[in-house]
């Protein structure tokens, strides 16, 4: 008789922020209008397989919660794991999650909310046709689990402002729809060769440019450009020579410039670091905003004399670097994504420099862990939380 359950505070605030970072630095145009999504296969296929690691314990905890609450006396497999943001204009009418022939395998749904209704977005309430709770007001960290059949016909109200962020999973009893084999196939192709301190091992590789194009009526924008613009940044040419060539002879498709080396700028300032591509730059900027409170705290401690922070040396130039001629309707992007609440009008470039170093350490550590876990996953044919005390073989050793 139990068909749904609300789990308050299922995810910690820091976990919500980490998943938000992953989504806002890796997301592509979604499966519905006004939706942006980040699937685990997409992460694995774009050089970001290490970013799967934060999802692994969450998937296990959600599966345990589903099996316990619904008294499952059978194995459950994860059919899909993804981050989904519903932007201004997004909605869906009454339906069950198994309402199409190609969705019949779905048995249970889990939705974790990563930001707050009212504060971060408006609209977007989850409503059920029958039973209790009849509606769910999204609160960061809360999760709701329910059966995917017609006992849980539901809808999502239109999002009228901002961006509603969720982690969504579907579970199945049919092992042929288990997403792990596909993920392991991607990971075995992209993450088996690992060399410590090799930065190229965690530099993201953009997917096809059309995957980042967000269409809206007769207009649209590139999601990578939009994410940067909302934070007050823009993509700049990687050097003065590139600035001249870009101005004199623009590329046939300017969007292709996002897959090449570039810099970032803000107003008249240009950051001296040359990034491998737009996703590389976007990840660092999104990491900076994720860690902004920690960065500010370090700066204040340094100013007060209680701590010394060694900043890497990266120059910031004034009035240098041509902004790349990218087609992006910035006004539309602002309307669709809204404004981020923690964005300051003034940034500390020293904090950006430190964020870059912290991002490299964060990525390197995840990559190292993945190299330890992946052989166990491959030998078992499934992705699970590996006990670090157990002996393991590091990828690249003996392969």
CATH of residue 176? 2.60.120.620
Cα separation, 31 vs 246, in Å, equals: 34
- pLDDT means per 10 residues, the chain with 399 residues, are 90 98 97 94 94 98 96 93 96 96 97 97 96 95 97 97 97 97 91 60 92 91 95 87 50 84 93 95 97 86 58 65 83 86 73 94 94 94 85 48
**pLDDT recorded at residue 325:** 86
Cα separation, 212 vs 355, in Å, equals: 25
Cα separation, 105 vs 78, in Å, equals: 11
Cα separation, 108 vs 89, in Å, equals: 27
- DSSP, res 180: H
Cα separation, 161 vs 34, in Å, equals: 12
Alpha carbon distances (Å) from 308 to 68, 313, 354, 355: 49, 15, 13, 16
Clarify whether residues 224 and 179 are in a common domain: no
Alpha carbon distances (Å) from 293 to 14, 155, 288: 12, 36, 9
Clarify whether residues 91 and 53 are in a common domain: yes
Clarify whether residues 224 and 324 are in a common domain: yes
For residue 292, the enclosing domain spans 209-238+256-302+312-362
- 139, two tokens: 């609160």
Clarify whether residues 11 and 121 are in a common domain: yes
**pLDDT recorded at residue 195:** 58
How many Å is the Cα radius of gyration of the chain? 22
Q: Do the Cβ atoms of 366 and 50 come closer than 8 Å?
A: yes
155 located within any domain: yes
Cα separation, 391 vs 378, in Å, equals: 15
**H helices within the chain, ranges in order?**
13-26, 40-45, 55-69, 180-190, 223-230, 240-248, 278-290, 292-303, 330-337, 349-380
End-to-end Cα, the chain, rounded Å: 51
Clarify whether residues 42 and 182 are in a common domain: yes
- DSSP, res 303: H
Nearest alpha carbon to residue 38 among 79, 80, 83, 78: 83
Q: Do the Cβ atoms of 164 and 150 come closer than 8 Å?
A: no
Cα separation, 220 vs 222, in Å, equals: 7
Phi, psi dihedrals of residue 42, rounded to the nearest 5°: -65, -45
385 located within any domain: no
371 located within any domain: no
Distance of CA 225 to the CA centre of its chain: 15
Clarify whether residues 141 and 30 are in a common domain: yes
Helix-helix angle 278-290:13-26, to 10 degrees: 160
387 located within any domain: no
Cα separation, 98 vs 83, in Å, equals: 19
- 35, two tokens: 């939706």
Helix-helix angle 180-190:349-380, to 10 degrees: 120
377 located within any domain: no
Helix, strand or coil, per DSSP, at residue 46: coil
82 located within any domain: yes
Helix-helix angle 278-290:349-380, to 10 degrees: 110
247 located within any domain: no
Q: Do the Cβ atoms of 278 and 233 come closer than 8 Å?
A: no
102 located within any domain: yes
Clarify whether residues 75 and 223 are in a common domain: no
Q: What is the pairing mode between strands 135-136 and 213-216?
A: unpaired
- 365, two tokens: 């550590």
Clarify whether residues 226 and 135 are in a common domain: no
Clarify whether residues 134 and 227 are in a common domain: no
- Bond preceding residue 296 cis, omega within 30 of 0: no
- DSSP, res 119: T
Clarify whether residues 61 and 167 are in a common domain: yes
Clarify whether residues 221 and 353 are in a common domain: yes
What's the total number of domains in the chain? 2
CA angle 371, 376, 379 (to 5 degrees): 125
Clarify whether residues 68 and 147 are in a common domain: yes
């Amino acid at each position: 008789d139990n068909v749904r359950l609300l789990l308050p505070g299922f995810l910690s605030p820091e976990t919500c922020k980490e998943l938000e970072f992953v989504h806002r630095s890796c997301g592509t145009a979604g499966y519905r209008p006004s939706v942006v999504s980040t699937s685990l296969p997409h992460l694995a296929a774009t050089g970001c397989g290490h970013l799967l690691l934060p999802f692994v314990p969450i998937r296990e905890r959600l599966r345990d919660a589903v099996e316990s609450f619904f008294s499952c006396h059978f194995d459950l497999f994860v059919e899909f794991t993804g981050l989904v943001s519903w932007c201004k204009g997004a909605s869906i009418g009454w339906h069950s999650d198994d309402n199409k022939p190609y969705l019949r395998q779905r048995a249970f749904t889990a939705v974790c909310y990563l930001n707050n209704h009212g504060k971060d977005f408006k609209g977007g309430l989850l409503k059920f046709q029958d039973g209790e709770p009849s509606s769910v007001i999204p609160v960061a960290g809360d999760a709701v689990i329910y059966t995917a059949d017609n006992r849980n016909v539901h809808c999502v109200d239109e999002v009228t402002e901002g961006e509603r962020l969720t982690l969504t999973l579907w579970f199945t009893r049919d092992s042929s729809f288990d997403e792990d084999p596909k993920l392991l196939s991607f990971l075995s192709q992209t993450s088996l060769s690992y060399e410590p301190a090799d930065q190229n091992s965690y530099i993201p590789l953009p997917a096809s440019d059309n995957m980042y194009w967000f269409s809206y009526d007769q207009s649209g924008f590139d999601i990578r450009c939009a994410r940067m613009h909302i934070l007050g940044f823009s993509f700049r040419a990687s050097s003065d020579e590139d600035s001249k060539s870009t101005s004199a002879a623009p590329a046939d498709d300017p969007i292709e410039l996002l897959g090449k080396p570039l810099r970032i700028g803000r107003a008249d300032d240009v950051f001296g670091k040359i990034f491998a591509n737009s996703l590389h730059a976007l990840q660092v900027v999104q990491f900076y905003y994720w860690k902004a409170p920690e960065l500010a705290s370090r700066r204040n401690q340094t100013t007060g004399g209680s701590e010394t922070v060694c900043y890497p040396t990266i120059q910031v130039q004034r009035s240098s670097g041509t902004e790349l001629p990218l087609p992006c309707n910035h006004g539309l992007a602002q309307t669709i994504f809204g404004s981020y609440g923690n964005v300051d009008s003034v940034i500390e470039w020293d904090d950006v420099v430190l964020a870059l170093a912290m991002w490299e350490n964060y990525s390197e550590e995840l990559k190292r862990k993945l190299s330890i876990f992946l052989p166990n996953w491959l030998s078992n044919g499934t992705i699970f939380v590996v006990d670090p005390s157990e002996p393991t073989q590091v990828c690249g050793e003996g392969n």
